[in-house]
Structure 1
Amino acid sequence: MDWDKLRIFHAVADAGSLTHAGDTLHLSQSAVSRQIRALEEMLNTTLFHRHARGLILTEQGELLFDATKSMNKRLEAATARIKDSEEEVFGELRVTTTTGFGTLWLAPRLSKLYEKYPDLKIDLMLEERVLDLPMREADVAIRMKEPSQADLIRKRLMSVRMRLYASQTYVNKNGLMTEISQITNHRLLCQSLNSTQVAAGATLVHHLLTYEVPSLFTVNNYFGVLQGVLNNLGIGVLPDYVTEDFPDLVRVLPDLESGEVPVFLAYPEELRQSKRIGAFRDFVQEEIFTHRRKIRETLPDKPQLPPD
């Protein structure tokens, strides 16, 4: 099959327009149209339904587009490996992780990585959906559970627990809880139970809601919960990794916490030799080591701060 025609077909299917595909490929609309017609004649099928608003793939077109998407991802992976220098770290690195971990822990530390590798370009994708690394939806992932996808290199980074925190201002005004039944005197801030989250966090929230909580504030990520806590809305369920960057938070009910949540770094086997992946992996591991050391050092003076 003609690779050039497949490349043009993929661009048209992705854009949904001959004109837009032509702009991307630097070809005229008529040249793109001729190639698509030639491909349809070669396959003896219709790949697109034409209408006034653009092009829609037929069933046969969808099948071919699935194949070209896979091919394109593999070509991107090969290109990434070829571009990785033997001596330098540069180019784009697409990192995916959860909104909470990405905003509260990872993003604030990335300036150190850029200082060391100024030519690196990081595309940080924050979402709860698990992206397909083998299909190159991202280069590297940090997830709150062990990835189940095949052909991935996995490394356990640390573990996290969900705990209760409040601001010092809130505690000064409302008092510090000494037993869980006193939650009936406070507003609870937590991640929405219908949003994607780790099971351990949801279990802790369910337990707290067995008490008659008078007021509830829910949000679909931990960044929002943290903002509520910092602004004195109530007592929040938060991951323990926030304690280093927000040392004035007060630990509420130190004996109450969720089960352990493992944190894994993963990337495709085919990117094993990638200098960018290696640089990012080493950076994250160094930051976790520093994070743990700082938490340990603060324990004698701030017993309410939990270790990892």
Structure 2
Amino acid sequence: MLYSEKIQYFIELVRHGSFSRSAKYLNVATSTVTKAVTNLEKELEQTLVKRLKSGVEMTPIGQDLYESVVESYLTIEQKLNMVKNKGNQKRDSLKIITTTGTMSLWLMPRLAKFQEKYPNITLRIQTTDDHVSLSKTDADVAILPTIDDPGAVVKKKLLSISLNKLFASKGYIKKYGEPKTKADLKNHRLISFYQNKDTSRGNVDWHLQGENNTLKPSLVVNSAICIYYAALLGYGITPIGTDFPIEGDLVEVLPNESQPNIDVFFITSKKRGGDNLINDLYSSLVGAVSTKAVLSITGD
């Protein structure tokens, strides 16, 4: 086996974290990856990875080798894919993974141009609240603020969004009153998108962060539409995205509470850099919105 193949198997082993996952990605037997990496270690007379029950862990020597060769490896893969993907694409679908909340709604009206250009391509959209490692999914594109494998991906900024503003129905305000400060929220019924999550996505539930502790929500639901409907029905005060494409009889609460912007990125694997479909998808998303829809829901 050539040095280049052994290096390839070593890099994919590191990227996927185990012999079995890297073998599946490479479409070879697990023993092939094991043998290649073992032979590479013998030839270099160095241990590159520690074999653990849960996978592998790089040694300091392995870390140095990986950092030295991974960029060149991915650049070569990208160039080869650019050649391979010239002309018409030989596939019938493209998968996007994004957040369950506002970003999935932001995405919908921006897909029209791409679908017009590629009527035979099926767009598959998966939403998630969890951290994503692109190399461990079958998604072609991630539209997210963060990714778990930053060294192996290309990130292009799509937009900056402000954290969700707070809203409540007029009926709720009439019944429970309107909070005048953030501290007043402790005396109100609060609706949250998810609780006990970290802040890597900008902390959608910023209204639960009290001065001394986390406030308890009366309702937790990880659906942007359900949250909107719950607020409209008077269930409580809830964060709703400023770009939310729905109209309704809601009142903004604590409008002077400022929140930082969150950057959202179009993320693809470095080895997919020459993919015409992916490049055209990005171009359609950053262009003007050609389709808008309003979902009107009545709470009475």
Superposition pairs of residues 53-64 of structure 1, within 5 angstroms: 56-57=56-57, 59=59, 60-64=61-65
Q: Output the CA distance in 2 between the equivalents of 1:28 and 1:278.
A: 33
Q: Output the CA distance in 2 between the equivalents of 1:256 and 1:39.
A: 60
Is the helix fraction higher in 1 or 2?
A: 1
Does the CA contact (< 8 Å) of 2:168 and 2:234 recur in 1? Answer: yes
Q: C-alpha root-mean-square deviation of aligned residues, in Å?
A: 5.6
Q: Output the CA distance in 2 between the equivalents of 1:259 and 1:33.
A: 49
Q: Output the CA distance in 2 between the equivalents of 1:25 and 1:99.
A: 31
Larger radius of gyration: 1
The one-letter code matched in structure 2 to 1:43 is L
Q: What does residue 303 of structure 1 align with?
A: none
Deviation at 1:193, TM superposition (A): 8.2
Change (3 A) 1:80 1:215: same
| Greater CA drift, 184-193 or 87-96 | 87-96
Does the CA contact (< 8 Å) of 2:145 and 2:265 recur in 1? Answer: yes
Q: What does residue 280 of structure 1 align with?
A: 281
- Return the structure number with greater relative CO, CA threshold 8 A, min gap 6: 2
Q: Deviations over 1:227-265 (max 9, x none)?
A: 7536653121221222x2x32352334855644736555
Change (3 A) 1:174 1:113: farther
Q: Which runs of 5+ in 1 are unaligned?
A: 299-308
Report the TM-score, using the length of structure 1 for normalisation: 0.58
Q: What does residue 248 of structure 1 align with?
A: 248
Q: What does residue 3 of structure 1 align with?
A: 4
Report the TM-score, using the length of structure 2 for normalisation: 0.59
Deviation at 1:16, TM superposition (A): 3.5
Does the CA contact (< 8 Å) of 1:93 and 1:121 recur in 2? Answer: yes
Give the share of equivalent positions with the same residue, in percent.
Answer: 18
Q: What does residue 43 of structure 1 align with?
A: 44
Aligned length: 278
Q: What does residue 261 of structure 2 align with?
A: 261
Q: Deviations over 1:62-107 (max 9, x none)?
A: 5445556555544443344334445779687675654423333325
Q: Deviations over 1:176-222 (max 9, x none)?
A: 855637867641224558631437973x665xx57xx9963475967
1:164 aligns to what SS in structure 2? Answer: strand
Does the CA contact (< 8 Å) of 2:112 and 2:291 recur in 1? Answer: no
Does the CA contact (< 8 Å) of 1:200 and 1:258 recur in 2? Answer: no
Q: What does residue 180 of structure 1 align with?
A: 180
1:105 aligns to what SS in structure 2? Answer: helix
Q: What does residue 233 of structure 1 align with?
A: 235
